[in-house]
Amino acid sequence: MKKRKALWVTMVLLIVVSLGIWLYQGDLPAEVVDAKYTSPSSQFLSLDDGARIHFRDEGNRAGLPVVLIHGSMASLHAWTPWVGRLGKTYRIVTLDLPAHGLTGAVPSGDYSGAAQLRVVQAVTSHLNLDAFVLGGNSMGGGVSWRYALEHPESVLALILVDATGPSAWYQARREAKPDKASPLAFKLLGQSWFRAIAARIDPYYLAVQGAKSAYNDSPVVTDALIMRYYELALRAGTRDAILGRFNSWQGPGRQSEDLSVLTQPTLILWGREDSVISVTTADQFQAAMPHSQVIIYDGVGHAPMEEVPERSAEDVRRFLKALKRGEV
């Protein structure tokens, strides 16, 4: 019996080791990834804690400033379609949050929500932006309305694109049964056993499945888009930073996130086929925020700014024009 048990344990270990070797993928040098994904507009802001924040300041410098924050596992590149369509009129500032894009790992290892807000404040202060429109997708939408709660005097208006909501909404989201399969990467990163090995496995197939699911199998999911997610995730230190962000997650946080105090005009954009955050969340935002309006895109997933860039940018343009005229 003992011999059989020992043999079984040995076989399991061999399988695990073999899978580890087969799935192993080392990091890509940061300088190689940076060379590919920087642009002439890329800038880097060094913070006192040693973090190096990648941001871009593009468009019409004399125009109304619009600061845009990407979602979880994404980067500022997600806003490129809007930059091209809105930049002639507006000043568009985008940035990579810690553990993302070309910012990647930070020396402090702080990937908390509070750290995200400090980075937004650091970049906007560096650019001397006293008042601006603030928008975000997914996690970045959550960063946006939380920033507005802490700095209401700086935020002229909000643009929430398939945004994460307050803590009190999370339980209902967990209990809801999604109509479509959500990205596998988010499910796996929620499991401690997967996080224990994720820093060294090849994330390519997770990038493929995640993009196809989040973007609702949109034709914008090209090899180039998948490789962007894949190579940015493999940038030296980033996988450890991603795991640090998920490992340090302590739950929803404060329970008194009252959106009704946000009086800024708010545009809520949502893809009806979002597999990450249910489209019903758009109605929750509208009910909670006194000066908000909702636009739903049929057949669109989690990233309207990339999936339907012309339509979504035109809706933003219309909203900002009305804001300037005082009509929203």
Q: What is the dihedral of CA 188, 229, 75, 143, to 10 degrees?
A: -10
- The pair of three-digit structure tokens given for residue 103, joined into one six-digit string: 């910012």
User: Region 219-230: what's the mean pLDDT?
Assistant: 97
- The pLDDT value given to residue 10: 40
Q: Are strands 91-95 and 266-271 parallel, antiparallel or unpaired?
A: unpaired
Picking from 159, 105, 103, 171, the residue whose alpha carbon sits closest to that of residue 132 is 159
Q: Which of 106-110, 136-140, 180-184 has the lowest mean pLDDT?
A: 180-184
Q: What 3-state DSSP class applies to 168?
A: helix
Assess whether pLDDT exceeds 50 at residue 2: yes
Assess whether pLDDT exceeds 80 at residue 176: no
- The pLDDT value given to residue 19: 36
Q: What 3-state DSSP class applies to 28?
A: strand
* φ and ψ at residue 293, rounded to 5 degrees: -140, 150
Q: DSSP states of 187-242 as a string?
A: HHHTSHHHHTTTTTB--HHHHHHHHHHHTTT-TT--HHHHHHHHHHHHBTTHHHHH
Alpha helices in the chain, H assignment, sequence order: 2-23, 30-37, 80-86, 113-126, 139-150, 170-175, 184-189, 192-195, 204-214, 223-234, 238-247, 280-288, 304-307, 309-325
| Residue entry with tokens 């804690």 | 49
Q: What 3-state DSSP class applies to 153?
A: coil
- The pLDDT value given to residue 196: 61
User: Region 15-44: what's the mean pLDDT?
Assistant: 77
Give tens-digit pLDDT for 45-84.
999 999 999 999 999 999 999 999 999 999 999 999 999 9
Assess whether pLDDT exceeds 90 at residue 6: no
Q: What is the pLDDT confidence band of residue 180, given thresholds at 50, 70 and 90?
A: low
Architecture of domain 29-251+259-325: 3-Layer(aba) Sandwich (3.40)
Q: What 3-state DSSP class applies to 155?
A: strand
